[in-house]
Copies of this chain bind each other. A is one copy, B any other.
């Protein structure tokens, strides 16, 4: 049972010194952490033996047990009362945790927007594809590279044309059991839409991961995954966008791993 609550509940039935101890502990819970029984006794102005007897009266073996119980009770309350999540991603000051906050928000939105059928479909499509072509807009090149790398590591035949000069040629060589993955931001890039259309002419399945809005690339796809952008300044927004793209891709990869 919660030790601090017990203390408050029993307060009325306690003797003078015991009440002094209870009050002190309730007021200075965090101090107890580094107090020995005699230090506590001194702080409260009672004898060391009274501290021990108090502990036993509350039902503990002795002072160390009480101390641990108080600590447990205190820590538990801290977690329960914690409204925001700042603690969970580290000390407030760390550059990592500020970013962590924003990231969490974007990821949350991104996770929510993607229907699990589309995700499963994407995983299934990757798994059953003979070859996979990855195409990306300028801002998503690094993400595309990452995806390609991971696919290759998993034993999928994946190709990404860094420069983009060859992507039309490559698309022309795809067959109907292949897959085209399009990664882009706004989804309006003409060349990507062009690649998608050419591929579809050959019966190729198209998977897109774009910003969550009405966009050409997404419309011309069979499987549509989205990223919900943040509302920060441009540079940070791009960072968070890529981060969310990566998260979706990691989701796909881990899905492929499980299979």
Which residues of A does B touch, CB under 8 Å?
Answer: 33, 64, 68, 71-72, 75-76, 78-80, 82, 85, 87-91, 93-100, 103-104, 107-108, 110-112, 114, 116, 119-120, 123, 141-142, 145-146, 149-150, 235-236, 239, 243, 246-248, 250-255, 257
| A99 interface neighbour in B93, B146, B149, B254, Cβ under 8 Å | B254
Are A112 and B90 within 8 A (Cβ)?
yes
Specify the chain B residue showing the minimal Cβ separation from A246.
B246
B residues less than 8 Å from A79 (CB atoms): 78-79, 82, 87-88
Q: How far is the CA of A33 from the CA of B72 in the complex (A)?
A: 11
Q: How far is the CA of A58 from the CA of B5 in the complex (A)?
A: 34
Are B251 and A33 within 8 A (Cβ)?
no
Shortest Cβ distance from residue A89 to the other chain B in the assembled complex, whole angstroms:
5
B residues less than 8 Å from A97 (CB atoms): 111
B residues less than 8 Å from A94 (CB atoms): 111, 114, 116, 119
Are B108 and A95 within 8 A (Cβ)?
no
Shortest Cβ distance from residue A146 to the other chain B in the assembled complex, whole angstroms:
5
Known: A33-B68, A71-B71, A111-B94. A250 touches B103 (CB 8 A): yes
| A95 interface neighbour in B78, B103, B123, B236, Cβ under 8 Å | B123
B residues less than 8 Å from A243 (CB atoms): 246, 250
Known: A141-B149, A150-B142. A96 touches B111 (CB 8 A): yes
B residues less than 8 Å from A96 (CB atoms): 110-111, 114, 116, 119, 247-248, 251
Q: List 17 A-B contacts (CB under 8 A).
A: A68-B71, A79-B88, A89-B108, A93-B116, A94-B114, A95-B116, A95-B120, A96-B111, A96-B116, A96-B248, A97-B111, A99-B250, A99-B254, A145-B145, A145-B149, A146-B146, A239-B254
